[in-house]
Amino acid sequence: MAYHDRDLAPETETVALMNDQTTGIGKRAAAERPFRRKAALRAEAAAPRVEKVMSPSKPMPLPEPEVVASLPATLPEPWERLRATPLGLGRRQVGQMPLVNLHRSDPAAKAFDVLRTRLLQTLKARGWRRIGIVAPTRGCGASFTAVNLALSIARVPDSRTVLLDMNMRDPGLAGALGLGAPGDMRALLRGDVSYLDHLTRCSGTLAVGLGAGVAGDASELLQAPASAEVLDLIQDELNPDVVICDLPAILAHDDLAAFLPRLDGVLLVADGTQTTADQIRRCQQVIGDTTPLLGVILNRGRGTGAENYAL
């Protein structure tokens, strides 16, 4: 049955009509779809083909070698770093200063040993280490006493003694010990030269600081702050039991008066043939009460030597 009014058409026919229309549309879409795929394939074939070139893979960086900090070699202690020069005691020449090491049976050698023992006991009891050895006038035997006392102390096992030639008016320790001086004491006391280069280690228990040449400004050098710093450095780093300083005559120069603040004590050497009581009194006045006078040593006395000193 045909109906001119679609709204009046039965519901089933309306559905059929819609299916026909839908089916027609689907047929057209299906017919067109293969052509689109072919066109796309033709376009892909016509397009230039770009091949991807794989970049070579970068090599993995090698691990950096581990840097191990090498520790510096341990330096020996300052005492061992001093230049070693043994004393030439077996090659004594005529006119050289007599040394007790060569005459162990001599009464003077025994007297120095007794003096050594009493001095070490006094210094240890009071915590002192630096002493000056002086005389009223030149030629009384201050250098002789300083050298032989240092040699006597150096025979004590496991001890350390430093002997310094602070007599820049007339240095004589180098000649007494038969050693050459590396230079004058001025450079050392000013700090121009290290004590490690200037001092000489004569044995495991004795080191010496020798001087050559006369210094006209000795008094100024001895009281300068630089000399105090050098002496303190020597004492701190070498750690000696005793530092013996040989100094010029008290009544001839003001070197001792300038150097007194650097000393813990003073030993006064008198000559039995020329020193007077008045000279000893004048020396005591110069030394004063600030620095202790440890004793008076009588050189060239009438006795056997054992009684020629007092501490």
The 10s digit of each residue's pLDDT in 38-60 is 666 566 666 556 555 555 556 66
What pLDDT score does 103 carry?
67
214-236 pLDDT per residue, tens: 888 999 999 999 999 999 999 99
- Tens-place pLDDT, residues 80-92: 999 999 886 655 5
Average pLDDT over residues 118-144: 96
Sorting pLDDT into bands at 50, 70 and 90, what band is 94?
very low
Percent of the chain scoring above 70 in pLDDT: 68
Q: Rounded to whole angstroms, how far apart are CA atoms 198 and 85?
A: 12
pLDDT of residue 42: 66
Reported pTM = 0.73
What mean pLDDT is reported for the chain?
81
- Residues 268/297, Cβ–Cβ less than 8 Å: yes
pLDDT of residue 8: 46
User: How would you class 236 by CB atoms within 10 Å of its CB: exposed for 0-12, middle for 13-18, buried for 19 or more?
Assistant: exposed
pLDDT of residue 220: 95
pLDDT at 58: 60
Give the pLDDT of residue 14: 45
pLDDT digits (tens, 9 = 90+) for 147-159: 999 999 999 999 9
Model pLDDT, residue 196: 96
Whether 237 shows a pLDDT value over 90: the answer reads yes
Give percent of the chain above pLDDT 90. Answer: 58
Give the range among 28-37, 52-61, 109-118, 255-264 with minimum mean pLDDT.
28-37
- Minimal CA–CA distance to 101: which of 146, 154, 163, 151? 151
Q: Please state the rounded mean pLDDT for residues 251-257.
A: 94
Question: Which two three-digit tokens encode residue 29?
Answer: 């879409």
Mean pLDDT throughout 249-263?
A: 95
Q: What is the pLDDT of residue 15?
A: 43
Return the pLDDT at 275: 96
Who wins on pLDDT, 109 or 264?
264
Task: List pLDDT tens digits, range 164-218.
Answer: 999 999 999 998 898 988 888 999 999 999 999 999 999 999 999 999 888 889 9
